[in-house]
Amino acid sequence: MPIFADENNKLFTIETKSSTYQMAVGEYGHLLHVYYGKRIGCEHIGSGFLNADLRYLVTYYDRGFAGNPNDTGMDRTYSLDALPQEYPCFGTGDYRSTALQIRNAEGVSCCDLRYQSVRVREGKYSIPGMPAVYADSEKVDQKEGTGSWGRDSADTAASAQTLEIVLEDSVLGLEVTLLYGVLSDSDVITRAVKIRNCGAQTVYIEKAASCCVDFLYGDFDLIHFHGRHGMERQLERSPLLRAEQVLQSRRGASSHQQNPFFILASRETGETKGECYGFQLLYSGNFKGEALTDQYGQTRALLGISDELFSWELRPQETFDTPEAALCYSVEGLERLSDEYHRLLRRHVCRGVWRDRRRPVLINSWEAAYFDFDADKLERIAAQAAELGVEMLVLDDGWFGKRDSDNTGLGDWYVNEEKLGCPLGEVARRVNQLGMRFGLWIEPEMVSEDSDLYRTHPDWAFTIPGRSPIRGRNQLVLDFSRKEVVDHVLDQITEVVSHANIAYIKMDMNRHLTDIYSLGARAQNQGTTLHRYVLGVYDFLERLGERFPEILIEGCAGGGGRFDAGMLYYTPQIWCSDNTDAIERLRIQYGTSFGYPISAVGSHVSAVPNHQTGRSTDIETRGVVAMAGTFGYELDLNLITDQEKETVRRQIQDYIQYSDLIQEGRYWRLSSPMENEEYTAWEFSSEDGSDALLNLIRTGAHCNSPVQYVRLRGLAPDGWYRLEETESTRHAHRQKNAGNAILANEKKLYPGSALMSAGLPVPWMNGAYQAWQVHIVREK
């Protein structure tokens, strides 16, 4: 039982495998945060338990310029500006940034929550219409045609518990339920908040974070993941300032620019040691993460839906649910934190039949043909790909409406048979005849002004009355906060998908939101539009998944512009970046790996010179980098040399052979591309350390350079291992007559402890950006 609720002492403790989280009701009814960190251990005594009471950590002093709630009488030591709180509210004398801000009908912002009740129940709570972690982690039946899409919304699996703490503001008549979810096999604690108006007056929610953690002390670094289109999730680490640091998106999507995931790490924390805390939001719209160290050296971390452009009218008896946040603590460094998130997202967030199935090796038409294709050209691309072992052709943008460039056609989801030369069903049949599946690109949230949809329903695109809407990629955004808009687009796409044998959908989104005004909302409800838009996107995906449970859906937003745990609830993989340059991808995929599993990362081999950077790298290098994701190709394989084709053939075989390790194994960052100029290396290992796959890209090229060593992780220290280069690496190196240091020693056994402590010399590889991929197998 991970949750201990001591009602008499008003002390509530959550225990995961390695962490303890404690709260207590203060003398005047406020819910105080007591502790979050290394597991302390609650003791079971018969049918009861002894709750480790850590309330001694919370201290009370008379502080200057710190208000005291009126009911504390003459006690000047109780101030909400100094006390650690579980869900601090604006208007209580806490001058720090708060989690909840409520405005009443008179326009006054004040809310004062006091404890009412507690309840522990079996199973994990769910959130209506929004993504949430679920408990059941059983492997889904692998057989095709047997899978279902959703999860039971009342997830009652015994392997999870929910803690509900009810707080109340008696003046407003507001009931706020703090929800905590714990899974027996995870170090993650989930949080969400339900706000119910039990009063007689309408109130306005101006801010409602999903979580707040008040740390009593500690010198933290903030690690976050910033970026831009084509260069997403770049890790940045800096000491927390005595100032409010805000990470947020105002773009309507979680964005390329910031990611709804950040880490607070102790100064000395590294990959393999030290304390750190993860904060991840399962949400795909505007978000706000805040980290602030206050005047007393205490740190407050907040994460939730952004309060900018947000205001939610809550009428009597109505309820508002925040998105869910997933917190995680690690005392064993960043790699352990990532490992916990990887498992959580893989097993408890991603859904549907494709959660556990090996994803097909695909070829995508985008960088192979852009808008210039017909059915014959697609068949030629598919035929060559099939011959080399590729399993699916994805027809990207350009197959519908009047869409020969990215300026027109969005919204007209009917097949352009004139361009293709035949119906879409026929294209799919021709691809199927080659032994391949067929996939299709869509961008449902968007509309081009030059489209039948826009001509018929100009009011469906976000537009501010009296103004002309801002264009992005020459397109406008459909108002998905309106159900009739979602219904229409879903029905159109359903029609297309039902008439062709489609196994995969790539759902794209190629601009951010502006002109936020919904004709579907009253003036006082315009502040709900952005959140309702996200709910509309979720509704679209939920119903698409229900209608086509066997279809694999890949998320995309101009690459990784909506790469978040919320999307992963609907799409188990997301195109990681529009930047397919293997060397730039090292940084993008490195940053992404902190919060997200490899099975979520869409990654392809593309042509050289690379279309985004102009850089050329060898095909094996591009292959090794793309294998740190859901592997595929994004070029016309007819245009590469025979030698390269042979490498591709072997790459695909390697990927399929090691797919269990790659998709399900433990992932280790062996070096940082931001710090190590010589190489970037990562590894996949099986749970029991019986085998591993080492991947390394040389990023430095020097004359007569010092030998580089790479230390492995996740092996059995007492095991003995054989090293074997993968087929594609061996083939490529043989062609170049290089990198045969390991080949020469294939029969040798290496001690696991030595491979991890002393490491392995990186073989001499001539030329920039060479790759090395080695399978490491335990022999005894």
Q: Rounded to whole angstroms, how far apart are CA atoms 389 and 361?
A: 8
Nearest to 735 by CA among 644, 615, 653, 652: 644
Question: Which residue in the set 84, 411, 527, 559 belongs to the binding site for ligand DGJ (CB under 6 A)?
Answer: 559
- Cis before 609 (ω within 30): yes
DSSP for 163-213? Answer: EEEEEEETTTTEEEEEEEEEETT-SEEEEEEEEEE-SSS-EEEEEEEEEEE
Contacting residue, 85, 177, 510, 728, with ligand DGJ by CB under 6 A: 510
Q: In this chain, which of 225, 277, 354, 366 binds ligand DGJ, going by CB under 6 A?
A: 366
The tokens of 571 are what?
């799409």
The residue with its CB nearest to ligand DGJ is: 397
Tell me if 575 contacts ligand DGJ by CB under 6 A: yes
Neighbouring residues of 524: CB distance < 8 A, sequence distance ≥ 6: 313
Q: Residue 725's closest CA among 710, 754, 697, 746? A: 746
- Between 284 and 726, whose beta carbon lies closer to ligand DGJ? 284
Q: What is d(CA 168, CA 744) in angstroms, rounded to the nearest whole number?
A: 71
**Is residue 550 flagged as an active site residue?**
no
Per-residue x/- marks for ligand DGJ, 379-398, CB under 6 A?
A: -----------------xx-
- Annotation marks residue 564 as catalytic: yes
Pick the closer one to ligand DGJ by CB: 323 or 559: 559
Residue with Cβ nearer ligand DGJ (252 or 558): 558
**Pairing label, strands 324-330, 362-364:** unpaired
CA distance 92 to 77: 15
Which of 644, 654, 664, 691 is catalytic? The answer is 644
| Beta-strand pair 392-395/437-442 | parallel
Phi, psi of 65 (to 5 degrees): 55, 35
Give the whole-angstrom CA distance, residue 126 versus residue 129: 9
Amino acid at 747: K
Closest CA to 504 of 640, 414, 391, 657: 391
Parallel, antiparallel or unpaired: strands 188-197 and 203-215: unpaired
The site that binds ligand DGJ (CB under 6 A) totals a number of residues, namely: 12
**Toward ligand DGJ, which CB reaches closer, 187 or 578?**
578
Stretch that binds ligand DGJ, among 149-157, 231-239, 555-563, 754-762 (CB under 6 A): 555-563
Residue 541 CA to residue 770 CA, distance in Å, equals: 40
* Choice between 204 and 370, CB closer to ligand DGJ: 370
Question: Is residue 632 close enough to count as binding ligand DGJ by CB under 6 A?
Answer: no
**Helix, strand, coil distribution of the chain in percent, nearest 5:** 25, 30, 45
- Residues 576-595, mask of contacts with ligand DGJ (x by CB under 6 A): --x-----------------
Point out which span in 50-58, 167-175, 247-255, 551-559 binds ligand DGJ (CB under 6 A). 551-559
Whose Cβ is closer to ligand DGJ: residue 279's or residue 575's? 575
Residue from 24, 240, 344, 556 in contact with ligand DGJ (CB under 6 A)? 556
Q: Which is nearer to ligand DGJ, 85 or 579 (CB)?
A: 579
Q: Which is nearer to ligand DGJ, 177 or 364 (CB)?
A: 364
> Distance between CA 380 and CA 714 in Å, rounded?
43
Considering 169, 335, 443, 564, which one is annotated as catalytic?
A: 564
Q: Is 445 in the site for ligand DGJ (CB under 6 A)?
A: no
Smallest gap from Cβ 558 to ligand DGJ, in A, equals: 5
What is the radius of gyration, based on Cα positions, of the chain? 27
Amino acid, single-letter form, for residue 580: T
Candidates 441, 538, 655, 668; binder of ligand DGJ (CB under 6 A) is: 441
| Residue 413 touches ligand DGJ, criterion: CB under 6 A | no
- With CA atoms as reference, report the closest residue to 601 among 615, 588, 583: 588
508 touches ligand DGJ (CB under 6 A): yes
Residue numbers annotated as active site = 564, 644
Residues contributing to the site for ligand DGJ (CB under 6 A):
366, 396-397, 406, 441, 508, 510, 556, 558-559, 575, 578
